[in-house]
Amino acid sequence: MTHTDQIKTIAGTLLKLPYETWNFGDSVAFEALIEATDALDDPKWAAFTYGWARAWATRAKPFRELDCTAPGWAIVHLAQRFDDGLLMQAAVELGDHLMARPTICGLYRTWVHSPLRHPYGPATLPPAEAALMADPPAGSFLDCLHFDPPFLTALGRATGRTDFTQAGIEQALAYIRVLQRPNGIFDHFVLDGHPGTYGPGWGRGQGWALLGLLDVLEELADSATPKATLDELKKGVTDLINGMIPLQGDDGHWPSVVNVATSDPEASTAAFMAAGFYRALKMGVVDDPRVAASAKRATDAVLASLDKDGGLLDVSAAVMACTQPTHYEHVPRGFRVPWGQGPALLALSWADRWKG
């Protein structure tokens, strides 16, 4: 039994969401709509994303800080799918712009002034952290593992420009080296001039990391990338998957902070993990029956969390960023947003691909 009906219903919800050109969280929705066209053999879903991207291309410059969140991987694939040279040229110009940014610990800077906030929940900021929020330093954030590395490697493959490909690889490896802990779980962000990392165990963040790394590996397939580099990227994926499986609840969900079992489940994490686990299996990055079993439990959790209109329940708001770890346990839930609907569609589609 396939999930065709649910995929179509979720795709319909994705057309109604208030996207921004560009902002955090939209990339996975655009990728999901491209996936819906292929899963449902209906061009209208990808056509929606193409129209949005083509309109952006007509006014892309001057670039702005949040253009680092552009759904670049989707834009490159749409430019190729629709044979659109103007859209590809806009993507190339954006890629050049993004590669000119300074780096923090080897990661392209996400923000000149990081969007730090007071923590959700009962925690308060100690004086040193309050001072950081009063004058936020620059920072680099895990979400961008789903933006920069997939975009740049896709752009390199499409244009033949090795500088794009190399930059994408270097960024993916930098995220692994800077933000992935020995247990496989990623932290959320690093601040310029401040030691250490912040935001341990954020559930949805593991999804951005997993899908971003898989995008990169897919773009590098059949390339001349050294085996040692591919092995390091694959290890980032397998370490993350192996770190996540023991933290999954009996209901198939993960806590909002995956290594804090008492934090409430947050449904987008299960959707991201189901999509990523099945995709890693299909790509041959992992070969472990535990992964398929965990993906099946996560898929069942996604199905149980869909309302009658195809909305994924118990998805949290944008988490922003906070130096207090408990913040991530208390982010409000109950939002119908791109970072919930997109992963839900991908989860069901990749479950079908795996069975097929």
Domain membership of residue 257 (yes or no) is: yes
Rounded average pLDDT over 77-87: 98
Per-residue DSSP letter, 116: B
Domain membership of residue 111 (yes or no) is: yes
What one-letter code names the amino acid at 348?
L
Domain membership of residue 64 (yes or no) is: no
Query: Which residue range forms the structural domain that includes residue 347?
Result: 4-16+102-355
Domain membership of residue 334 (yes or no) is: yes
Distance CA 66, CA 22 (A): 6
Which CA distances in Å does 71 have to 31, 32, 67, 192, 273?
8, 11, 9, 25, 20
What pLDDT sits at residue 266? 97
Of 1, 6, 2, the C-alpha closest to 345 is 6
Of 28, 5, 55, the C-alpha closest to 337 is 28
Residues 287-310 pLDDT 10s = 999 999 999 999 999 999 999 999
**Residue 218: pLDDT above 80?**
yes
CATH of the domain at 203: 1.50.10.10
Of 121, 139, 98, 72, the C-alpha closest to 264 is 121
Domain count, the chain: 1
CB count in 10 Å sphere of residue 162: 11
Residues 316-335 pLDDT 10s = 999 999 999 999 999 999 99
Domain membership of residue 137 (yes or no) is: yes
Domain membership of residue 65 (yes or no) is: no
Strands (E), the chain: 103-104, 107-108, 139-141, 189-191
Q: Read out DSSP for 223-274?
A: S---HHHHHHHHHHHHHHHHHHGGG--TTS--BSBTT-TTSPB-HHHHHHHH
Residue 245's pLDDT band (cuts 50, 70, 90)? very high
Residue 355's pLDDT band (cuts 50, 70, 90)? confident
What pLDDT sits at residue 1? 74
Domain membership of residue 25 (yes or no) is: no
Residues 131-164 pLDDT 10s = 999 999 999 999 999 999 999 999 999 999 999 9
The helix (H) or strand (E) run that includes residue 118 is none
What pLDDT sits at residue 336? 97
Domain membership of residue 128 (yes or no) is: yes
